[in-house]
Structure 1
Amino acid sequence: MNKMLILSKPTATKDQVMQFIKNTKTAHSLCYAIVPMIYDEAIKVGINPVVAVAQALKETGYFNYKGVLRPNFCNICGLKGSYGGGDYDPNAHKRFEYWEDGVKAFIDHLALYCGVKGYPKYSKETELYYNGKGTFYDVNKYKKNGTTLDPRHFTYLLGTVKTVEDLSGKWCPSKTYGEDIIAIVRKIEGTKISEDSKVNKEKILNLAKEIISEIEGK
């Protein structure tokens, strides 16, 4: 059986993704504002946006944040700080100021794993980490590729993952991590669009934006 590539064209439309969110009664309203950001950022680097969305949904519990991550972390993938720490230690996890920052850091981290051309980028937190370890970090080389807010943009991760299945035991210790993401991807791909989805989606999108403003303190 062929494995699911992370770098590929979209296997479902954004409308299918949002319809899937609507159909998932337990999904938080935040999904309506943040999921489109993930979809768009993933496409920019050649990642199948459906895979990226499915991974974020798994990591955040459909943005209900009932685990160690809290909404005000603006962290959508369980990303830790450069020095890592315990999975159940909230202080070990990166806190971003804005949702857009969290989304971009997530996509940059996944793109690094997949070996996307133009990576690694320059990460200030990663530089400080390497300096603290006494390890050379080629600042000028990586700055040519741009900058990233990914705190764990470790160069040794480049190209170590190609398929969703490969994420198991690498991105996450769980051996079923990739399978869980694939299960969500398949559900999204099989979602059919309903006629009234656009009207309802606009109403919930406005609500989601209000929630984001409240969380970010705007």
Structure 2
Amino acid sequence: MRGKRLLSIVACSLGFCFFAGAAGADAAAVMEAGQADKVMEAGQMDNAMAAGQAENVMAAGSTVVNTDRHRLLRDGKGTGRDAVAEAGSENMASGEAEPKELSLQERIQRILHPEDFMPPKPAEAVMSSDDNMIMGGAVATQEQCVRYLLRNNPYPKLNVSPQELVAYYYEEGSRVGIRPDIAFAQALKETGYFRYGGTVVPAQNNYCGLGTTSATVRGAYFATPRLGVKAHIQHLLAYASTEKPDDNIVDPRYDLVRNSYGEKTLNRWQDLNGRWAVPGVGYGQSILNDYYKGIINS
């Protein structure tokens, strides 16, 4: 009798294992088929309910979603119960509040099309026709100028802080009506983001190549960074306006330009092509597209 009872227990155990294995195989088949609208069957539902996550468990290309913020790859993660428990522990450890409940269809869409749930990227600033003009008011802020400089060169070779230098451009440019933000962009181009490395050296405080007529001629020297900025702004004014600045002229080539142009003026940055730099093909366009555009989008 004892032998028969033992055989009966073994048979029941084997039958239960066979049933559990078949149930697991059925659930895996549902998941591999990508049938996200079916809840896991044959014992898996009980496991999920035991963890309190039955309605959050679904399959989509072997992926189990626990919450809106947590996705668990089921492959190699153990059973469905393990995956749910792991996600629950992660929520408790982080202390995050449960997100708003989404419907099953919304969760499926979140998995299949995650790009639809991404926040929109900020629109890139578009330059206007006014940005072609040498004279005018600033559009970019001083903070944008500093941020763009330091992003491209964290250690500029300057005799003042980047913030001070930018402030000089805005003060001197606003004084005579020259666009200070684009004038600063021109300085970035002329100095290679204040890395220098060419004919002009940092000690000159010469930010626009004033007087540098060849590879052996260093050009003008200015005692302070502010005077260097003032000379740069005045040189732009000599091209763009017939009106002289009210304060002292520190640009050593101001009169040379004014006497050459007479009543004629250059209005656009592109007009500096072949004049400020020789041959200077695309010189003005490069100031706007390669430097100023980066500033207003920084």
Tell me by how many angstroms 1:36 deviates: 2.3
Q: What is the aligned counterpart of 2:214 among 80, 83, 87?
A: 87
Change in Cα spacing, 1:86 to 1:48, as seen in structure 2 (3 Å) is: closer
In structure 2, what is the Cα distance between the partners aligned to 1:25 and 1:97?
Answer: 24
| Segments of 4+ moved more than 3 angstroms | none
What is the letter of the counterpart of residue 252 of structure 2?
P
1:46-103 per-position Cα deviation (integer Å, ceiling 9, x unaligned): 11111100001111111111110001111111001xxxx7421234x01111111111
The answer on whether the counterparts of 1:105 and 1:150 sit within 8 Å (CA) in structure 2 is yes
Please list every run of 5 or more consecutive structure 1 residues that lacks an aligned counterpart in the other structure. Answer: 122-144, 192-218
Question: Aligned letter for 2:284?
Answer: G
Are 2:142 and 2:167, in contact at CA under 8 Å, matched by a contact in 1? yes
Partner of 2:270: 165
Structure showing greater relative contact order (alpha-carbon pairs closer than 8 Å, 6 or more residues apart): 1
- 1:103 — aligned with what? 229
Look up the match of 1:175.
Answer: 281
Q: Does 1:112 align with 2:238?
A: yes
Q: CA offsets per residue over residues 95-151 of structure 1, 9 Å max, x none?
A: 1111111111111111111106x31x5xxxxxxxxxxxxxxxxxxxxxxx4421111
Distance 2:249 2:193 in 1: 25
The separation in 1 between residues aligned to 2:247 and 2:172, in whole angstroms, is 15
Q: Partners in 2 of 1:99 and 1:16 — Cα distance?
A: 20
Structure with greater Cα Rg: 2
What is the identity percentage for the equivalent residue pairs of Structure 1 and Structure 2?
A: 32
Structure 2 CA distance for partners of 1:8 and 1:146, relative to 1, 3 Å: closer
Q: CA deviation at 1:18?
A: 1.5
Q: Is the 8 A contact 2:210 2:232 kept in 1?
A: yes
RMSD, aligned α-carbons: 2.2
Give the distance between the partners of 1:25 and 1:79, measured in 2 at CA. 23
TM-score scaled to structure 2, two decimals?
A: 0.50
Q: Is the Cα contact below 8 Å between 1:7 and 1:47 reproduced in 2?
A: yes
Report the 3-state secondary structure (helix = DSSP H, G, I; strand = E; otherwise coil) of the residue aligned with 1:69: coil
**Change in 2 beyond 3 A, CA 1:110/1:24:** same
Unaligned runs of 5+ in 2: 1-127
Code of the aligned partner of 1:12: A
Instruction: Count residues in correspondence.
Output: 161
